Amino acid sequence: MVKFSWNRLLSKRQFLIVGISSATAITILFLSKLQVLSYLIYPFKNEGNKLARSQSRKFTVVGKKSLQQRAKAKGLIYGAFPEADDRAFALDRQLQSQFIRECAMMAVGTFWFTHRPNPTSFDFTSSDYFVKFARTNNIQMRGTPLVWHEFLPDWLKATLNSSNAKQILTNHVETIVRRYAGEMHAWDVVNEGIDVGDKRPDGLRNTPWLKFLGVDYIDLAFRVAAKADPRAKLVYNDFGVEYDEPGYDNKREAILNLLQRLKSKGTPIYALGIQSHLYGDRETFNVAKYREFLKNVASLGLKIMITELDVVDNKLPQDIDRRDRIIAGVYEDYLSVVLAQKAVVSVTTWGLSDRYTWLAGKSPRADKAALRPLPFDRNYKPKLAWNAIARAFDRAPKR
């Protein structure tokens, strides 16, 4: 077994989950002099607006059905990523029980950093454990990711070149997908391949794969995965499309253009995965724009999967009741728009319990209070966020 620290792994991920380039991120932070001045004068304006809207909601749910049962009733799949590594998950019986009750899907990590200790071998210890757990408990699985520019092992960064890149990528994708062929419901084949901040006309991110293989590396990865497991649903996964702020329009446009190019080439792509790392303190979710984006994706004949849903709460008030109400409102407002689009077929939260969240390492609160971004608290008690997700499923149109 390759021993690694999950926190170390997560610490390599960029703080700005919406993940546009650093230059664009600065633009987002300082939207305009007027907005900055407004925030300095009224620092809790956004929080107050969200609280006012969610205060009157009771977030009442009917019945005792689990999230997976409510989703299934509408033709949807609900699942979560464990966040805990295989060793922690194996020791946490409560977390296991909650997964069995609440989730019809489990996201299984297949990161290069953990699965490729050296150029000639693979380590499937962690993914084998989760696949066995899911199989034993009749939970579907989605693997993530096959090709990504982050979490790459040192040996790969040191040796990758134009002569060996195709063979390395092909062997990696083929080996992992074949190992779980017939068992994975879906794969995130390529993750985060767009970065408009890199200033390419096509919007593609300047990754090692692009550098050594060119623009067709995405198509290549999909075709290799499809050949290794023809039954798996293959997904392009990305982030930074939810808000109406500088850079987001360009990101949405670049993703749509990529999807159109893939479809025109006959790439075996099934869906767009939208990570959906949301912010509790933002007021820039444009319902009309987002509906149009989802509609445009669906018009390409693609399904849509919400793949990494959570709500960043590090700038919300410390008071738990106020914070939970705002977070629940963000979940419900977002999902009410998303689930109205019938091309959306699944919702996966990036974690199930606040006990295990990557945000603890990357977006801690200045007041040191524990984060509360997920459906269950640290003691596995359902929160208003759970109610909000349940209500969104209950109110969604049937697929």
> Does the residue 375 lie in any domain?
yes
- Taking the C-alpha atoms of residue 247 and residue 26, their distance in angstroms, rounded to an integer, is 11
> Does the residue 3 lie in any domain?
no
Q: Is 308 a catalytic residue?
A: yes
> Does the residue 239 lie in any domain?
yes
How does pLDDT run across 326-356, given as a tens digit for each residue? Answer: 999 999 999 999 999 999 999 999 999 999 9
Total count of domains within the chain: 1
CATH number of the domain within which 82 lies: 3.20.20.80
Give the residue numbers spanning the domain of 134: 10-395
How does pLDDT run across 217-254, given as a tens digit for each residue? Answer: 999 999 999 999 999 999 999 999 999 999 999 999 99
Given the residues 47, 192, 242, 308, select the one marked as catalytic.
308
> Does the residue 5 lie in any domain?
no
Residue 127: CB partners within 8 Å, gap ≥ 6? 108, 109, 110, 115, 143, 180
Q: Which residue has the higher pLDDT, 1 or 370?
A: 370
> Does the residue 2 lie in any domain?
no
φ, ψ of residue 353 to 5 degrees: the values are -120, 145
Lowest mean pLDDT across 44-53, 118-127, 167-176, 382-391: 44-53
- Please count the CA atoms within 13 angstroms of the CA of 83 that sit on its side-chain side: 23
> Does the residue 1 lie in any domain?
no
> Does the residue 78 lie in any domain?
yes
> Does the residue 98 lie in any domain?
yes
